């Protein structure tokens, strides 16, 4: 992918970009979240995205977060349409025993959060973000070959031109270096449903 096609939403103070790698150093108290449960709104994480009107594709990226050290430190994939409509998939630091592999979908200003615990020994992860019209799938992989589904979702504003890419943030008083490599755009790897016919 040509990194010249990627644009910042909230450019971070410290970062590095070349043809093979993006590094983002997070700033404290940066996050993406809207309302649900916590009743606060955080919309200040740095996001690096490209734009497309292609309706069927997959985007793959490898993340390294071995430098993360404080609760909620995170980096991963994102589709940020505006402050109240976006999705993200990442691993969040929790403690020395486990991390949270999870995803957040925000439609019309309300976020949800789905997680599963994984070993704290995991320091890197591949993600695959796929689009089929206005529906989306997030997957994860530890080897970049075998992917497992994290979530399928619908985006209310996800029909038409979208923006997608990567993000990193530290919601608490923390900072770490997130590293992104092996980014590629492919034909849609999320195949059409084979089963019950649509209504």
Q: How far is CA 141 from CA 5, 51, 145, 169, in A?
A: 26, 24, 7, 21
- DSSP three-state, residue 5: helix
Question: How much is the pTM?
Answer: 0.96
Domain ranges in the chain are 3-186
**Partner residues linked to 181 by β-bridges:** 21, 62
On whether the 3-186 domain is CATH 3.30.230.70, my answer is: no
- φ and ψ at residue 4, rounded to 5 degrees: -70, -20
Question: Residue 122: CB partners within 8 Å, gap ≥ 6?
Answer: 91, 99, 142
Encode the chain (199 residues) as per-residue pLDDT tens digits.
889 999 999 999 999 999 999 999 999 999 999 999 999 999 999 999 999 999 999 999 999 999 999 999 999 999 999 999 999 999 999 999 999 999 999 999 999 999 999 999 999 999 999 999 999 999 999 999 999 999 999 999 999 999 999 999 999 999 999 999 999 999 999 999 988 988 8
Rounded CA-CA distance 136/114 in Å is 15
- φ and ψ at residue 90, rounded to 5 degrees: -165, 180
């Amino acid at each position: 992918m040509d990194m010249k096609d990627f644009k910042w939403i909230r450019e971070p103070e410290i970062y590095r970009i070349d043809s093979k790698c993006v590094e983002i150093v997070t700033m404290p108290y940066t996050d993406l979240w809207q309302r649900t449960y916590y009743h606060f709104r955080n919309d200040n994480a740095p996001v690096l995205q490209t734009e497309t009107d292609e309706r069927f594709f997959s985007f793959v990226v490898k993340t390294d977060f071995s430098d993360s050290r404080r609760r909620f430190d995170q980096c991963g994939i994102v589709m940020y349409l505006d402050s109240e409509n976006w999705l993200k998939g990442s691993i969040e630091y929790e403690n020395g025993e486990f991390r949270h592999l999870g995803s957040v979908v925000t439609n019309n200003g309300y976020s949800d959060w789905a997680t599963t615990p994984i070993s704290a020994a995991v320091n890197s992860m591949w993600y695959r973000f796929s689009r089929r019209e206005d529906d989306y799938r997030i997957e994860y992989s530890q080897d970049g070959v075998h992917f497992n589904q994290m979530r399928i979702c619908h985006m209310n504003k996800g029909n038409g031109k979208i923006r997608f890419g990567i993000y990193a943030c530290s919601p608490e008083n923390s900072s770490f270096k997130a590293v992104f490599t092996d980014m590629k755009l492919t034909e849609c790897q999320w195949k059409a449903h084979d089963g019950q016919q649509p209504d």
